[in-house]
Structure 1
């Protein structure tokens, strides 16, 4: 028995070390995968006031993830620590064309892909709103990083990367998408496609890696216009209920929608199919 253990224990250790090495190599290869998406010319020209450009830009959920100078999105033992970078330091490293490619296609300056960032929604943002977003981002005063360090993957996260089970947004966006030139006058459907549908479906619950988001049609139908405005402005449900991620995103971002825009969003969501 002792002889068998002497023979098998080193073999088991060797197999484990080989498995760890394979997971690491495959996960690094996945992180290094590049996407052949060109950074095409884009002229950032907007007639909007700086205040209106900021207001529009903030409705697209940037603050909910990145905050003022970076934010920890996930910090799970074994999975990893996922950091949304400090945009005030990060944006100046990119040209306008590279920022458009990042926002609409999920492809970073070095050609690798982003994850978590809702690029499949942002691909629908109209040209004039992209211009407003970039103009606002360029106006931000550079701030020191609010969190230390960058994204780090734990063993479970590494296995997910090695098995290609962690979604990268660049895989979800058709390269040939042609967004509209201008933001529509009625933004109801537009807001759903660029914002809401990242977390929610219209008629069914949507399961993410972190939470279950309710169907939006019955929710919008059940809220009075006043309560729906409170929901988008404060993220609080009827009775002042804290809604977690929705509360954070609303307080950082959705509170920049105007009353008319909120009415348009509710009208679209509540419309009978």
Structure 2
């Protein structure tokens, strides 16, 4: 797992690069490490996987995971600081624009499955922490194939995003919704319409099917409906998120990011669960 040892590596790399790490920088890296290896879970897509669909931890965030969809064939890019095949030449501002607005330094638009509609909610502080963490990772050379789309991409995902504050964890429901957004839970757990767009009117109802080396996995209903989490305890929900095991002992398959969600702390988990319980109950897949 990518845990405390990576923060040590990050600090060492920064020190060798001549960057003086004060208390503020260390706190920024620690927050970035937590977000990346916890709720935001970027490695769930940007870390290569073996032929069984298991994360290849030694290959870091060097990309290459393939996503097959009727409308696109996409490959997760290399987001290590390699200057030839990764983000090594990108400025902080360029990284921020790519993550939160879906625009690369060359002006091109990032297509799905990058969850821009959710990442636009990232606060300025948390975005800075993620960028600091990304830049502190080992550079890994890995040229990734270019994604191809059989649909028009939008010219942009809306106006520029700035001045986003991190909600207080004391406001449990608001903070829980923030965590659900930056963890892009609904990108998988919302049903999709026939045109491929998310059916936000049935938020959290599940029903999407994800093929991969693991076979096929079904996004579960995470609303308080009887077909969802209505009769689940908080402990059972937390176990499902962190360990990928439902209340009957069934193991979930990827792309559920339990390899990273297991690091979500208790305060954040409680807020996330409170948010899920506040959703309107929906039938599985949004179908009556």
Number of equivalences? 213
The CA deviation at 1:134 is 0.5
CA-atom RMSD in angstroms: 2.9
Name which one, 1 or 2, has greater alpha-carbon Rg: 1
Cα distance in 1, alignment partners of residues 221 and 161 from structure 2: 27
Contact 2:223/2:229 (8 A) holds in 1: yes
Cα distance in 1, alignment partners of residues 102 and 245 from structure 2: 31
The aligned counterpart of 1:101 is 97
1:206-233 Cα distance to aligned partner (Å, 9 max, x none)? 5478675333222343322222221121
The aligned counterpart of 1:213 is 219
The aligned counterpart of 1:250 is 258
Q: 2:165 aligns with which of 161, 168, 181?
A: 181
The CA deviation at 1:80 is 6.9
Contact 2:100/2:161 (8 A) holds in 1: no
* 1:137-156 alignment, distance < 5 Å: 137-145=134-142, 149-151=144-146, 153=148
TM-score (norm 1): 0.67
Contact 1:108/1:114 (8 A) holds in 2: yes
Cα distance in 1, alignment partners of residues 101 and 180 from structure 2: 19
Pair 1:266-2:263 in alignment: no
Q: Looking at secondary structure, tell me which structure has more helix per residue.
A: 1
Considering Cα pairs closer than 8 Å and 6+ residues apart, tell me whether 1 or 2 has the greater RCO: 1
Task: Give 3-state SS (helix, strand or coil) of 1:216's partner.
Answer: coil
The aligned counterpart of 1:204 is 205
1:18-38 Cα distance to aligned partner (Å, 9 max, x none)? xxxxxxxxxxxxxxxxxxxxx
TM-score (norm 2): 0.64
Q: 1:52 aligns with which of 19, 31, 40?
A: 31
The CA deviation at 1:100 is 0.7
The aligned counterpart of 1:82 is 74
